[in-house]
Amino acid sequence: MKRGLLILYTGDGKGKTTAALGTALRGLGHDYRICMIQFVKGPWITGEWKALDVFGERMRIHATGKGFIRNTKDMDRDRAAAKEAWQLAKETLTSTDYDMVILDEVTYLLKYGMVEEDEVCDHLRDRRADLHVVVTGRNAPECLIELADMVTEMREIKHPLRRGIKAQRGIEF
């Protein structure tokens, strides 16, 4: 029987969501059904959305975020959205509709105290034994690192924005 892995991409550097997308792509090549929940990104159209659209129902993306939390104008609205998103994540983790679930930037919920870390780790631990899960986000809590089968820290060596280069279409979104 297939063993479902828990993969964690964390750290401050770029490439966490990007690696999750690459993982999704690899799974799609094996006919996986995948659900990606984006906890920070909102429903604006990105390159990855357009490209993943060709996989139809096999690749679902829920962009539940309201933007970049740090610059929010309405923390109450964001908090409500985050709780709703976590509810969706829990349902997705117990559903039998998917072979892989991606929780993109879910660690932001922890940072802002919108969900407890034990709650997140418990639901990941109790998932179906053959379900692959990919989690991304900075500042992953210790329980998540403990629980994960594979953990990579993306460490920032050089960031284009710090060199005065604007975010490039086709690269960053």
Q: How far is the CB of 113 from its own copies (least distance, A)?
A: 25
Could you say whether residue 143 binds its own copies (CB under 8 A)? no
CA distance 83 to 86: 5
Could you say whether residue 46 binds its own copies (CB under 8 A)? yes
Could you say whether residue 171 binds its own copies (CB under 8 A)? yes
Whether 39 and 103 have beta carbons less than 8 Å apart is answered as yes
Q: 25: part of which helix (H) or strand (E)?
A: helix 16-28
120/134 with CB nearer its own copies: 134
CA distance 136 to 138: 7
CA 173 to mean position of chain CA atoms: 15
CB count, 10 Å around CB of 57?
7
Structure tokens at 146: 């403990």
8/114 with CB nearer its own copies: 8
> What character string, x for contact with its own copies (CB under 8 A) and - otherwise, covers 111-140?
---------------------x--------
Could you say whether residue 100 binds its own copies (CB under 8 A)? yes
Query: Which spans of this chain sit near its own copies (rule: CB under 8 A)?
Result: 2-3, 5, 7-11, 13-15, 17-23, 25-30, 32, 46-52, 54-55, 99-100, 132, 145, 148-160, 163, 165, 168-173
